[in-house]
Amino acid sequence: MANGNAQQKLSGTDVVKARKGLMITPDLCIACRGCQTACKQWNKLPGDATTNSGTYENPPALTAHLYNQIHFIEKPKDVGIDWLFVRRACMHCGEAGCMDICPAPGALFRTDEGAVAFNKEKCIGCKLCVAACPFDVPRYDSDNKISKCTLCSDRISNGLSTACAKGCPTGAIRFGSRDPLISAASAAGYTVYGEKDLEGLGVMFALKGDYKEYNLPQPTYHAGIALWNSVIRPLSVIGLGAVAAGALIHYLTIGPKDVEPDETAKKGGE
């Protein structure tokens, strides 16, 4: 299914008429975390208990209750530290591996504005979307249901901006139609990360340097998802698909399961 034919993709954005998105400009971010707070407030997400890990970054990663996190990159210099602040959240990929791998119809879906949203009632907690996401985004709540940014679908479908963009005091998060966001960033001299990758990311970055300096990954559609869609998904009707795909995606993304030495000894000794 990941053969470049967008019309056949389960996750493709070809049905979206007016695709909305975000442009993130790390240069403008002051790490106030107003966006984290605005997101929690709008989505009624509780706080997470954290510990001091020796950096100002807090919490250190996305959680089921944190859809939007500011990642701190610290670069020591002769005197003091240079910081880069990089927002982490769902990228609302045009070609969304999470949607393509999901065996539960309607658990993940594309909104009219191009966001990738979820329906917890339909999620079966299989966690295949975790393995298929190149950005390490999906998290699970205490009921084992998916939890992630929805691009504030309930707001943008009513003509509002996302809560994080509204709460950002510096313009580091801008919300709007995707094409004008790209034009404005390019005109300001930035390189746009995510303009064309994965049929265009819904969340893009305006960068002055190489994307690797911002700890951003190369957006990748895992090869195993294509096999899942063409070969293994049909098996799901007889209840074999999810287990087989889990093993396959694990193998392709992480590698073969290591056998613990004591496990080997036990097998050999019995």
**Which residues contact ligand SF4 (rule: CB under 6 A)?**
29-35, 38-39, 42-43, 67-68, 70, 85, 87, 89-93, 96-98, 116, 133, 135, 137-138, 148-152, 162-164, 167-168, 170, 172-173
Q: How far apart are CA 148 and CA 202, in angstroms?
A: 14
The minimum distance between CB 261 and ligand SF4, in angstroms, equals 35
Nearer to ligand SF4, 40 or 241 (CB): 40
The minimum distance between CB 78 and ligand SF4, in angstroms, equals 26
Question: Which backbone phi and psi does 149 adopt, to 5 degrees?
Answer: -60, 140
The minimum distance between CB 258 and ligand SF4, in angstroms, equals 26
CB neighbours of residue 117 within 10 Å: 19
CA angle 220, 223, 227 (to 5 degrees): 145
Nearer to ligand SF4, 146 or 248 (CB): 146
**Of 125, 81, 85, 148, whose CA–CA distance to 242 is shortest?**
125
The minimum distance between CB 157 and ligand SF4, in angstroms, equals 12
Whether the CA torsion 83, 50, 59, 168 is positive or negative: it is negative
- For residue 110, CA distances in Å to 14, 17, 100 come to 10, 12, 11
Nearer to ligand SF4, 83 or 244 (CB): 83
Nearer to ligand SF4, 86 or 242 (CB): 86
The minimum distance between CB 124 and ligand SF4, in angstroms, equals 16
Q: How is residue 262 written in tokens?
A: 């004591």
The minimum distance between CB 268 and ligand SF4, in angstroms, equals 41
Q: How far apart are CA 184 and CA 164, in angstroms?
A: 19
Nearer to ligand SF4, 133 or 249 (CB): 133
Nearer to ligand SF4, 105 or 264 (CB): 105
